[in-house]
Amino acid sequence: MTKSIQQFKLVIKDRLFYNRYEYAVGFHLDEVSCLRELNHTHIDRMIERRIAWRDIAQQRTSGKSTLVGHTILTRRHKEITGTTVSNLHQLTEQLLTTSADFKLVVSVNTAHVYTNDLTLINQVSDLPGLTQKEYNRAVVGRPPNTIQLKNPTHKFRSYFKMIKLTDDQKTHLINFLANQPAARISPALVSWLKSPLRRTQDYFFIDHDTMSWLTMLSLVLPGLIRKTMQIIPAK
């Protein structure tokens, strides 16, 4: 089905997607993270590894309680069918043979294709196996490196990199943030700080009022911050 510009959700940004692309289609596709490398042989190799690993996981969890089995019965135990593999190869072939410029971003069972070519958006959308499709269009509506908030109370927002911390590093971060009452910690980061997880996510952020605050944080955990944006009032 052909998508018209009117069917895209407008996303007001300080730049285009990846500073280059106007359109994006996002979707769910089983095992799409196998497409971190757009290569048919690589996909088959990854599928073989996942099937073998899941066979081992099934054996390890067999005989355990129903509750535990239900909790663990996630994508790791989901059967990888021939249809799933075929869907992955069809998407790969479409992207390998297109003349359009694009960027593919995958995570677990979700993916986004960014491009300036509406024909590619439509071609990807028509492929089998894709569900939960969403269409976005980037509209540059604010100065670069800024974020708009209603009634902002801080001047800057700093986003984390995706890195895995040691237990000691996470403890140092928790202690540092506990002594920074003026900073605002994003809800997702608050939850993560209370959890046993050690890998940060790139959507974690902290709102603060001075750039010197970043210098203090860098003494605790060098290289943690991915980018800092100025917060401006929404019109």
Compute the average pLDDT of residues 129-154: 94
Range of the domain at 174: 146-233
Residue 122 predicted with pLDDT over 90: yes
Q: pLDDT-derived band of residue 108, with 50, 70 and 90 as boundaries?
A: confident
150 and 134 fall within a common domain: no
123 and 191 fall within a common domain: no
22 and 132 fall within a common domain: yes
184-185 and 205-208 strand pairing: antiparallel
Q: pLDDT-derived band of residue 235, with 50, 70 and 90 as boundaries?
A: confident
Residue 25 predicted with pLDDT over 70: yes
Give the pLDDT confidence score for residue 71 in this predicted structure.
35
The answer to whether position 51 is within a domain reads: no
CATH number, position 224: 3.30.70
Give the pLDDT confidence score for residue 3 in this predicted structure.
63
121 and 199 fall within a common domain: no
Residue 67 predicted with pLDDT over 70: no
103 and 153 fall within a common domain: no
Residues 6+ apart with CB under 8 A from 106: 32, 33, 35, 36
117 and 32 fall within a common domain: yes
127 and 156 fall within a common domain: no
| Average pLDDT over the chain, rounded to an integer | 90
153 and 117 fall within a common domain: no
Q: What percent of the chain has pLDDT over 70?
A: 90
132/158 Cα distance (integer angstroms): 30
26 and 95 fall within a common domain: yes
The answer to whether position 97 is within a domain reads: yes
Residues 6+ apart with CB under 8 A from 162: 199, 200, 201, 202
Give the pLDDT confidence score for residue 140 in this predicted structure.
94
Q: pLDDT-derived band of residue 4, with 50, 70 and 90 as boundaries?
A: low
20 and 87 fall within a common domain: yes
Q: Number of folded domains in the chain?
A: 2
Q: Which of 36, 174, 23 is nearest to 110 (CA)?
A: 36
The answer to whether position 68 is within a domain reads: no
171 and 89 fall within a common domain: no
124 and 186 fall within a common domain: no
Residue 29 predicted with pLDDT over 80: yes
pTM of the model: 0.75
